[in-house]
Every structure is written in C-alpha cells, then in structure tokens.
C-alpha cells in the first residue's frame, strides 16, 4: 500500500540452459510468484536484467512482451485455465490464433500434433468438463507446446491432482524433456515433485539459498509402476 | 491479427453463452423493430395522403379569388368575386405551360327524381374538368363544348347522388332530374372516386356545363374557381407563374397592387399534409430511438458482467500472447456482433410487424430503405459505443492479476 517498496527478489542470479528441467522451490512469501511472473514475461524486473533466448526482456513494451509470451513461453497453470465449453482441439489452437504466421489448416495440424504428444489424440472434441483433471492438465500442456516455445513454464502444475495423476504428469514432463529436449521450469513447493527434475533452485525471502543438480533424480515412470494399483476404479 | 480470426473468437465466445447473448440482443431487436414499424406506419400514411392528393390530378393548379381591397376596405376571400369568363379566355389564349382550363361555379341545391330527393352540389365546369381531375366516366358521355355554348340542360351524376335518388337497377342515363326545379337530362355517370384526403365524399356531386349553372341557377358572371392543368408535372411552377402573370394583366392590376386571386398547386397541399405525418414519424422514431439506447445500455451492462466473469480467460489469453488490442477487439467485436445480429433480426421483425399492421388493421405502411439503413448504422454505432468501455476495461487488465482472479 502507498509508497512503501517491497523487494520480493533480492539480487538473485542463475542461468537455465536449453534442455534443462529445473524446479524452483520455496514456501509462500519466498518470491516464487514474482520470479515466475518475471520468467514468464508477465512482468518486467524493476532492476537487473532478464535475458530470454538472448532478448533483454526489461526493455520491451507491453505488446512486445505479449509477442514474446506467444512465441517463446508455454504456460501450464495449477488450475489448467482451459476455456469452458470449448473442445480440447480448440483450446490447444488458442495460442496460434495470436500468431499470424499460420493458416487455419496449419493451426489444426499443429494442435493435433501437440495433442498426440500428450497422448490425447482420441479426446479432440471433448470439452474440459468431459475430461478428468489429469486429462485437462495434459490439454493445457499441449497448449503450452503448440507454438514450439523455448521454455515451458509450469506453475504448481500438479497442485490440483492426486498423487498418481501427478506422477503421470511428471512422467509426461520428463518425456518431453528427455525425448524432445524441451526446456522446463517447474515451480512447486512439493519436494516429492522436485525430485523428478535434474536441478532444484530453492528460494527463501527473495534469495536463492540452494541451487544444485539433483543427485538422485527419480524417474516418474518407474515410480508410477511401483505404486500400488488402487482398486477405486 | 487478422480480423476474421477475431470474429471467429468472438463468435465462439458468444456461442458459449447463447441464451445470454440472445437476451442482450432482445433490447436491440425490439428497438430496431419498433423503429422500422413506426417509420413504416408514418411513411405509409404520408404516402397514402400523397396518393390521394395526386389522384385529384397532380398537375392541377387551382385559382381562387383572394381578399381584395375595394375602396380601402379589405374583403375576405369568400365574399370576393374576381374571376370571370374574360380570365378564362385570356388563359386559353395566352397559356403555354398549361393545356386544359376549366372554370367552376358551384351551387348547393336539392335534386329530385320522381319521389326521391337529395341535397347535393352542382358544379358547373367545362368538358376539360374531367381530364384535369383525372376523373373518367363510368357510363354515358361527357358534355361537349357545344353543350357549354348553348348552356344545355345536361348533367353527369356522381355515384352518391345516384344511390340517393334512383332505386337500385334503374338506369340513370337518359333520365331527367330536377335541380332547384330546373330539369337536367342525365347523359353520363362519373366513376366512383371515394373520399378525398379531407374525408369529403367526392361522389356527392353533379357536373354540368358552367354556362348552364351560371345562367340557369346562380345567375352569376363570376366563378368560384378556375382549374388549369400544367402540361406535365415539372412545368407546374412555370405554369403557376404564367397564370399569375396572365391574370394580373387581365385584371389590370398595377405593379404595386396585390393579387386579387390566389394560385395553389397540388404540391403545396401535399406538403401541408405531409408535414403533419412527418411530425408523427419524427415523434414515433424518437420513442423507438430511446428504446435503442436502452438496448445499448443493456449491451454495455452485459459486456461489463462478461468482462468480470471472464477475467481469468482474459488473463490466460494475455499469458499466451494476446496483446491489449487483441482483447479490446475481441470484446468490441462481441458487442458489435450482438448489436448487428440484433439489428438484422429487428429489421426482419419490423418488416413483419408492418405487414401484419397492413393486413389486420388496414393501415397503409411503407418500409423505406432509408429507415433500414439508418437502424443498421445506429445498431453498429450502439455496439461500438456501448461495447468500447467494457472492452477497454478488459484490455487494460494486468495479466498477473487476471490470472489469479477468483
């Protein structure tokens, strides 16, 4: 309120290389959200520099930021944020509507490929309320992939899902990272989830308190196989 | 961003909320339908008045005596008598822009046939009169110039007169009726003309040669009117000026004297009556216009609700690369689509309503292209005007806040 300035992030510095799978961890108030907004080009840093794929984000206008988000970043949110009463295919197509480079047929084609990548090719015409939470999140991941961004930015992407489904999503993330070389920055507060990534950055009170590769990286596919099969369904 | 993509996005958004889109449209639909129907009724009555007046003969020019100064006393129009046969001759001789001339001398009186009688008007005219008034005869023949010259006791009867003094099935042609005790032989029957724009029964009349009326009934050398008809409608003004000039010369008026006659064209009459119905049209349109504004406010209201409700959607769109202008255009186009679609339905409904009014109430209606075009423009304008502020609000949302909005 008023003129008091709050510094959410204080002099943090790190690089994310192409093809990395990084988790950012921290409790609430640690500056996680601010960092995510900055990384996602939703907000410009008031001080310091942020280079995304060689572009200095701090100097860009609102419209240029929008263009950057469209071309270089794929968001995956905790609440999926799919358009209601809209088919999976059209939800995935959405980012392409803001990218004038594609014709209507190319849009369909690319959206279809993205849905195939998340193994939802058989759910093209389903609307979000006809899909389970995990499936909805996979549609959201397809939407993040469709414009072939340099980075996928996931914000608590497993926060609304049960353990099994969370692991399924993580397995998908690992697959995208390993097989297709996608760079993924994954924000979470669950150490369980962080253990699937290759590197963890820990924030506290706006500072990086730990930044190192995960020694015992787990593979979601294996964990999934070892989970007891629940007889609920 | 391509406009048709924006239209597709807006269409999809509207499809997700069909009922609400329709209810919002309803305000515009009612407004536009009201404008179209009201203007159609107004224009229809205007046109029917025009048609009735021009059915009296659109080229007709009426000359009547006007207030005159006699020895410094200004007399009113009805008591002055200035038009004579000399004027008619002068007009016949010198007129270039008009071809038909008929004086008129009217007398009220009682017409008798056998045991039946009827109070009516006899009008003494020349054979040209029927041409000037566009008035054919239904049966028999019209009297001739010879009849005029000899002041023959022949007449043409209007349908109302026939209905009142002849029993059904009786053939009036060849019968002899008495008007104010003077026997007249019926030589023709006038076609039915109905009521004129003032509600007068035009068929309650007997036409006879003007000489017969002047010499045998009124014993007057003056005429109440002289009718001339311009050679065609475009010559009406020239003919009017020519009539004035000839009559001033014939009346030997000095340049400083005022006219002792008045020249009227049908056009002036049409204008007089049109202005009344025009006022009506303006009033009705104003009321309908207000309902359009109310409809527009409805759109604005719903668009505001929609922007608030879809805050997260707006945040999402921004996070995947929509610029402020894209969001602005999306919501603006939604508003315009609602208003234009409402406009189209409203126009169709308005046309249907006017047709129903014509069919069931028998009011004349005329759907004019200009009213359709106007309502359409107003609709588009309403959409832009009332859609802009909500759209602007949407476009200025902060993507971070919008994404977190609960």
- The per-residue pLDDT for B388 is 93
Contact residues on chain B for A43, CB-CB shorter than 8 A = 400
Asked if B45 and B354 touch (Cβ cutoff 8 Å), the reply is no
Query: Exposed (0-12), middle (13-18) or buried (19+): which is B325, by Cβ within 10 Å?
Result: middle
Contact residues on chain A for B313, CB-CB shorter than 8 A = 81, 83
Instruction: For residue A228, tell me if it sits in a domain.
Output: no
- The per-residue pLDDT for B77 is 58
ipTM of the assembly? 0.91
Cβ count within 10 A of residue B168:
6
The candidate with the shortest Cα–Cα distance to B34, out of B380, B302, B290, B298, is B290
Which of B5, B15, B399 comes nearest A97 by C-beta?
B5
The candidate with the shortest Cα–Cα distance to B106, out of B88, B121, B93, B85, is B121
Instruction: For residue A181, tell me if it sits in a domain.
Output: yes
The answer to whether B11 contacts chain A (CB < 8 Å) is: no
Which is higher by pLDDT, B56 or B406?
Answer: B406
Task: Provide the shortest C-alpha distance from residue A27 to chain B (in Å).
Answer: 18
Task: Provide the shortest C-alpha distance from residue B316 to chain A (in Å).
Answer: 7
Beta strand B225-230 with B98-113 is: antiparallel
The candidate with the shortest Cα–Cα distance to A45, out of A2, A75, A11, A1, is A11
Q: For chain B, give the mean pLDDT.
A: 86
Task: Give the largest Cα separation in chain B, rounded.
Answer: 105
Instruction: For residue A180, tell me if it sits in a domain.
Output: yes
**Band of residue B5 on the pLDDT scale cut at 50, 70, 90:** confident
Instruction: For residue A166, tell me if it sits in a domain.
Output: yes
Does A9 score more than 60 pLDDT? Answer: yes
The answer to whether B356 contacts chain A (CB < 8 Å) is: no
Instruction: For residue A3, tell me if it sits in a domain.
Output: no
Which is higher by pLDDT, B4 or A120?
Answer: A120
Check CB contact under 8 Å for A81 and B403.
yes
Does B272 score more than 90 pLDDT? Answer: no
The candidate with the shortest Cα–Cα distance to B363, out of B50, B54, B48, B32, is B48
Q: What CATH number did the domain enclosing A64 receive? A: 3.40.50.300
User: Tens digit of pLDDT for each residue in B368-403?
Assistant: 888 888 888 888 888 898 899 999 999 999 988 898
Contact residues on chain A for B9, CB-CB shorter than 8 A = 97
- The per-residue pLDDT for A1 is 47
Taking residues B337-343, what's their average pLDDT?
A: 91
Residues contacting residue A213 through CB under 8 Å, at least 6 positions apart: A198, A199
Asked if B187 and B146 touch (Cβ cutoff 8 Å), the reply is no
**Which residue reads 């389970």 in tokens?**
A132
Strand partners, B184: B177
Instruction: Give me the residue spans of the domains in chain B.
Output: 3-52+271-404, 99-229
Which of B9, B324, B403 comes nearest A97 by C-beta?
B9
Task: Provide the shortest C-alpha distance from residue B328 to chain A (in Å).
Answer: 13
Does B1 score more than 70 pLDDT? Answer: no
Does B235 score more than 90 pLDDT? Answer: no
Q: For chain A, give the mean pLDDT.
A: 89
Which of B8, B9, B312 comes nearest A81 by C-beta?
B312
- The per-residue pLDDT for A104 is 86
3-class DSSP assignment, residue A207: strand
Backbone φ and ψ for B29, nearest 5 degrees, come out as: -55, -50
User: Tens digit of pLDDT for each residue in B9-45?
Assistant: 888 888 888 898 899 899 889 888 988 888 888 888 8
**Which residue reads 């414009």 in tokens?**
A147
- The per-residue pLDDT for B68 is 62
Nearest residue on chain B to A62, alpha-carbon basis: B323
Taking residues B82-99, what's their average pLDDT?
A: 86
What is the CA angle B154-B159-B164, rounded to 5?
Answer: 90
Find the Cα–Cα–Cα–Cα dihedral B129, B134, B139, B142, rounded to 10°. 20
* Count of the separate structural domains present in chain A: 1
User: Tens digit of pLDDT for each residue in A63-106?
Assistant: 999 999 999 999 999 999 999 888 999 999 999 988 888 888 99
The answer to whether B320 contacts chain A (CB < 8 Å) is: yes
| Segments forming the whole domain that contains residue A98 | 21-43+60-216
Tokens of B324: 């402020």
User: Tens digit of pLDDT for each residue in B276-326?
Assistant: 777 877 887 788 778 888 888 888 898 899 899 899 999 999 999 999 999
User: Tens digit of pLDDT for each residue in B45-88?
Assistant: 878 877 776 666 667 888 888 766 666 666 665 566 778 888 88
User: Tens digit of pLDDT for each residue in A177-218?
Assistant: 998 899 999 999 888 889 999 999 999 988 899 898 988 888
Instruction: For residue A35, tell me if it sits in a domain.
Output: yes
Beta strand B60-65 with B261-265 is: antiparallel
Instruction: For residue A169, tell me if it sits in a domain.
Output: yes
Instruction: For residue A231, tell me if it sits in a domain.
Output: no
User: Tens digit of pLDDT for each residue in B133-146?
Assistant: 888 888 899 999 99
Across A184-216, b (16+ Cβ under 10 Å) vs e yields bbbbbbeeebbbbbbbbbbbeebebeeeeebee
């Amino acid at each position: 309120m008023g003129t008091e300035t709050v510094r959410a992030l204080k002099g943090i510095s790190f690089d994310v290389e192409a093809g990395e799978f990084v988790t950012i961890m921290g409790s609430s108030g640690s500056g996680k959200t601010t960092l995510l907004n900055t990384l996602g080009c939703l907000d410009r840093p008031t001080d310091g520099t942020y280079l995304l794929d060689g572009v200095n984000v701090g100097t860009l206008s609102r419209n240029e930021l929008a263009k950057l988000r469209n071309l270089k970043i794929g968001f995956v949110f905790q609440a999926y944020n799919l358009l209601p009463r809209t088919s999976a295919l059209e939800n995935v197509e959405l980012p392409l509507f803001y990218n004038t480079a594609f014709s209507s047929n190319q849009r369909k084609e690319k959206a279809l490929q993205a849905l195939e990548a998340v193994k939802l090719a058989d759910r093209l015409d389903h609307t979000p309320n006809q899909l389970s939470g995990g499936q909805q999140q996979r549609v959201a991941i397809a939407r993040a992939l469709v414009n072939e961004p340099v980075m996928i930015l996931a914000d608590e992407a497993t926060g609304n899902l049960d353990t099994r489904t969370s692991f399924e999503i993580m397995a998908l993330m690992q697959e995208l990272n390993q097989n297709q070389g996608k760079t993924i920055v994954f924000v979470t507060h669950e150490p369980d989830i962080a253990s699937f990534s290759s590197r963890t950055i820990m924030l506290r009170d706006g500072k990086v308190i730990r930044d190192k590769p995960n020694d015992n990286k787990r593979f979601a596919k294996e964990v999934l196989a070892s989970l007891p099969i629940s007889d609920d369904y | 961003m391509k406009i048709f993509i924006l239209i597709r996005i807006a269409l999809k958004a509207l499809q997700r909320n069909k009922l609400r889109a329709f209810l919002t449209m309803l305000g515009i639909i009612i407004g536009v339908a009201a404008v179209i129907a009201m203007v159609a009724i107004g224009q229809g009555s205007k046109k029917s008045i025009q048609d009735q007046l021009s059915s009296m003969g659109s080229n007709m020019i009426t000359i009547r005596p006007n207030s005159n100064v006699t020895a410094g006393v200004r007399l009113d129009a009805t008591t002055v008598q200035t038009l004579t046969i000399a004027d008619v001759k002068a007009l016949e001789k010198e007129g270039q822009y008009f071809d038909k001339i008929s004086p008129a001398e009217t007398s009220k009186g009682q017409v008798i046939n056998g045991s039946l009688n009827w109070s009516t008007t006899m009008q003494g005219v020349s054979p040209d009169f029927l041409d000037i008034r566009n008035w054919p005869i239904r049966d028999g023949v019209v009297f001739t110039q010879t009849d005029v010259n000899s002041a023959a006791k022949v007449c043409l009867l209007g349908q109302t007169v026939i209905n009142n003094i002849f029993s059904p099935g009786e053939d009036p042609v060849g019968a002899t009726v008495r008007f104010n005790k003077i026997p007249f032989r019926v030589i023709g029957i006038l076609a039915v003309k109905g009521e004129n724009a003032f509600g007068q029964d035009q068929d309650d009349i007997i036409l006879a040669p003007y000489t017969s009326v002047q010499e045998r009934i009124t014993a007057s050398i003056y005429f109440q009117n002289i009718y001339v008809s311009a050679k065609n409608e475009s010559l009406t003004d020239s003919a009017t000026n020519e009539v004035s000039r000839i009559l001033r010369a014939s009346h030997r008026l000095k340049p400083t004297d005022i006219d002792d006659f008045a020249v009227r064209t049908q056009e002036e009459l049409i204008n007089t009556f049109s202005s009344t119905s025009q006022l009506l049209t303006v009033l009705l349109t104003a009321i309908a216009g207000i309902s359009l504004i109310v409809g527009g406010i409805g759109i604005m209201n719903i668009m505001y609700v929609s922007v608030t409700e879809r805050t997260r959607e707006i945040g999402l769109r921004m996070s995947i690369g929509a610029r402020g202008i894209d969001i602005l255009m999306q919501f603006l186009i939604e508003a315009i689509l609602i208003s234009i679609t409402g406009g189209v339905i409203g126009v169709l409904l308005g046309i249907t309503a006017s047709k129903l009014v014509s069919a069931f109430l028998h009011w004349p209606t005329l759907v004019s292209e200009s009213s359709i075009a106007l309502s359409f423009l107003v609709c588009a304008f309403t959409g832009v005007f009332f859609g802009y502020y909500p759209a602007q609000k949407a476009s200025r949302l902060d993507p971070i806040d919008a994404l977190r909005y609960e």
